[in-house]
């Protein structure tokens, strides 16, 4: 079953074609890697999928929580999140001055079942819901082993944990599709290994479809079932890790330049 599909997805910035005629089809439960040299348009694809940028051309179809396909071309980011697609950001965008717990709580926003009036006057619904929300959030933090830091400010977390918190926060929106933008950036090899296990684990536990952008080849080759390679905004290859590793086009465009892309 296809949960995400793009048809001739393109976007122009000024005269520059940042992404051109991208056709993606992601199946339910897949773990797909999106790779390519710097400036290949990977994050731009995420930004279009999540409604931050509006595509110049093409369509994006996403399966919502009721397994209906929705054209998300004209939707706002928050509406797309409500359909069940969440994301993390490459350049960490946590709510820095709020606590770790509050960050997750804000991610849980879509599942808040009481009205603001109930909150203002502290009616019973408020207490019931807030208790449930806090428990759920702590539960999620536990998975990533940062539960004990719930009351710290997000900006005081070490870098690796900030990346984890980004994922927890995205999970709190209860997505069925998760877009991870360089989740391992800045992590040491040990942390990266742990992260790989975590990604596998949450994929099972929450029945997620995951697309991830990553430069760490070990991670990508290690966990992705399928890899899509972008170069200059175009898809130059798509296949299993083994196929990609031996694809001459990819080797030429990407692996051949790996050194300068490691940064």
Partner 1 sequence: MDFLQQFCQQTLNGLSLGSIYALLALGYTMVYGIVKLINFAHGDILMVGAFVSYFVLKQWGITPVTLMLSFLPAMLFCLTMGVLIEKICYKPLRNQPRINALITAIGVSFLLENGARVLPFIGPNPRVYPTLPVVNYKFFGINISQVQILVFVVAIGLMLLLNYIINFTKIGKAMQAVSFDKGAAALMGINVDRIISFTFVLGSSLGAAAGILFASAYPQIEPYMGIMPGMKAFIAAVFGGIGSIPGAVLGGFILGVAETLTKGFLSSQLADAIAFGLLILILVVKPSGLLGKPMGEKV
Partner 2 sequence: MSKKMNTVVSVLIVASILIILNVLVMLRVIDEYASQVLTIAGINVIIALGLNLISGFTGQLALGHAGFMAVGAYTTAALMMKLHLPTLVAVFGGALMSAFFGFLIGLPTLRLRGDYLAIVTLGFGEIIRVLMINLPELTGGPAGLKGIPTFTTNFFWRPVLSFALVYLTMTLVVVLLNNLLNSSHGAAIISIREDEIAANAMGINVFYYKIFAFTLSAFIGGLGGALYAPFFGYLSPNMFNFQKSVEFLIIVVLGGMGNLTGTVVAGIGLTYLQEILRFLKDYRLVIYPIILIIVMIFQPSGIMGLFGNKEFSLTRFVGKLAGKQLSGEQSSDKAGEVQ
Note the residues at the interface with partner 1 (CB under 8 A): 43, 47, 52-53, 89
- Residue 82 contact, options partner 2, partner 1, none, Cβ 5-8 Å cut-off depending on partner type: partner 2
89 binds partner 2 (CB under 8 A): yes
Q: Tell me the closest approach of the beta carbon of residue 242 to partner 2, in angstroms.
A: 34
d(CA 155, CA 127): 28
109 binds partner 2 (CB under 8 A): yes
Residues written for the chain:
263
155 or 218: whose CB is closer to partner 2? 155
126 or 254: whose CB is closer to partner 2? 126
Q: Tell me the closest approach of the beta carbon of residue 47 to partner 1, in angstroms.
A: 5
Strands 31-35 and 209-213, how do they pair? parallel
181 or 231: whose CB is closer to partner 1? 181
Pick out residues in 167-186 that bind partner 2 (CB under 8 A).
Answer: 169-170, 172-173
User: CA distances (Å), 217 to each of 37, 57, 129, in order?
Assistant: 12, 31, 42
Alpha helices in 159-208 (DSSP H): 159-172, 189-205
184 contacts 195 by C-beta, under 8 angstroms: yes
66 binds partner 2 (CB under 8 A): no
Q: Please, what's the b/e burial string for 209-239 (b: 16 or more CB within 10 A of its CB; e: otherwise)?
A: bbbbbbbbbebbbebbebbbbbbbbbbbbbe
d(CA 229, CA 78): 28
81 binds partner 2 (CB under 8 A): yes
Residues that bind partner 2 (CB under 8 A): 50, 52, 76-78, 81-82, 86-87, 89, 93-98, 102, 105-110, 112, 114, 116, 119-122, 126, 129-130, 133, 151, 169-170, 172-173
């Amino acid at each position: 079953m296809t949960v995400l599909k793009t048809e001739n997805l393109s976007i122009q910035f000024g005269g520059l074609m940042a992404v051109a005629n991208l056709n993606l089809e992601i199946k339910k439960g897949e773990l797909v890697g999106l790779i390519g040299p710097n400036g290949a348009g990977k994050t731009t694809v995420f930004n279009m999928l999540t409604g931050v940028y509006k595509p110049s051309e093409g369509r994006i179809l996403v399966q919502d929580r009721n397994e209906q396909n929705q054209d998300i071309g004209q939707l706002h980011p928050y509406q797309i999140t409500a359909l069940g697609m969440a994301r993390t950001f490459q350049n960490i965008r946590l709510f820095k001055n709020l606590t770790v717990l509050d960050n997750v709580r804000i991610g849980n926003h879509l599942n808040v079942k009481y009205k603001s009036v109930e909150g203002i006057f502290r009616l019973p619904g408020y207490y019931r819901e807030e208790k449930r929300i806090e428990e759920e959030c702590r539960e999620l933090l536990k998975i990533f082993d940062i539960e004990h830091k719930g009351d710290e400010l997000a900006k005081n977390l070490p870098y690796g944990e900030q990346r984890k918190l980004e994922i927890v926060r995205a999970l709190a929106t209860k997505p069925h599709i998760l877009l991870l933008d360089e989740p391992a950036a800045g992590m040491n090899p040990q942390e990266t290994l742990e992260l790989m296990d975590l990604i596998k684990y949450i994929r099972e536990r929450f029945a997620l479809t995951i697309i991830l952008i990553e430069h760490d080849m070990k991670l990508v080759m290690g966990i992705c079932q399928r890899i899509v390679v972008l170069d200059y905004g175009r898809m130059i290859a798509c296949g299993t890790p083994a196929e990609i590793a031996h694809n001459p086009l990819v080797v030429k465009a990407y692996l051949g330049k790996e050194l300068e892309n490691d940064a």
